[in-house]
């Protein structure tokens, strides 16, 4: 029994040593003049099947209005904002979570912040609201925006 415990402890130590450091969030240079912006983009939230036996239960697909708050360097603010908008719009055509919970919401926030690297802007705020869950409207939005099929 002692050998198994020691082996498991050694395995955990080796795995912890091999774990990579988290990617640092992009930052702006210290003391540089900045300008704050916010813009609203839309994103497709896939529907999820569920039943009374699953937690959480299913929900229909939705179109989200996502508000991004950005802080850009003042000398290149408009160009940086334009680059940031394009990056976020391209990356988040489909919302990267299934259920509204703090873990998935935080992952989306981190992913958006990391995507802005090299644009001259950093993420300063993030929120979203549901615009619609109407099946016809969400389906037409998905077709217009060429939403790829869900991965199995």
Report cis status (omega within 30 of 0) of the bond before 96.
no
Percent of the chain whose predicted confidence (pLDDT) is above 70: 78
pLDDT at 26: 73
pLDDT at 96: 84
pLDDT at 6: 52
132 in a structural domain? yes
29 in a structural domain? yes
How large is the average pLDDT for residues 105-122?
Answer: 91
Encoded tokens for 145: 């925006």
Does 78 have pLDDT greater than 80?
yes
How large is the average pLDDT for residues 63-70?
Answer: 94
Residue span of the structural domain in which 129 resides: 23-144
CA 101 to chain centre: 13
pLDDT at 1: 55
Return the biggest CA–CA distance within the chain.
Answer: 65
pLDDT at 5: 59
70 in a structural domain? yes
User: Please, what is the average pLDDT of the chain?
Assistant: 82
pLDDT at 86: 95
69 in a structural domain? yes
15 in a structural domain? no
More confident residue, 24 or 90: 90
- What secondary structure letter does DSSP report for 79? H
User: 62 falls in which pLDDT band (50, 70, 90)?
Assistant: very high
125 in a structural domain? yes
110 in a structural domain? yes
Number of compact structural domains in the chain = 1
10 in a structural domain? no
Does 122 have pLDDT greater than 90?
yes
Contacts (Cβ under 8 Å, ≥6 apart) of 83: 119, 120, 121
Distance, CA of 19 to CA of 57 (rounded, Å): 34
């Amino acid at each position: 029994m002692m050998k198994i415990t020691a082996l498991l402890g050694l395995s955990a130590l080796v795995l912890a040593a091999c774990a990579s450091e988290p990617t640092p969030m992009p930052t702006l240079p210290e003391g540089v003049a900045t300008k704050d912006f916010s813009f609203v983009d839309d994103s497709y939230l896939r529907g999820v099947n569920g039943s009374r036996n699953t937690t959480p239960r299913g929900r229909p697909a939705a179109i989200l209005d996502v508000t991004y708050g950005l802080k850009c360097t003042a000398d290149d603010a408009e160009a940086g904002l334009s680059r940031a908008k394009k990056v976020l719009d391209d990356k988040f055509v489909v919302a990267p979570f299934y259920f509204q919970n703090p873990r998935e919401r935080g992952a989306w926030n981190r992913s958006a912040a990391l995507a802005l690297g090299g644009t001259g802007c950093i993420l300063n705020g993030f929120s979203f609201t549901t615009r619609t869950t109407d099946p016809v409207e969400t389906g037409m939005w998905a077709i217009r925006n060429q939403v790829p099929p869900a991965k199995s």
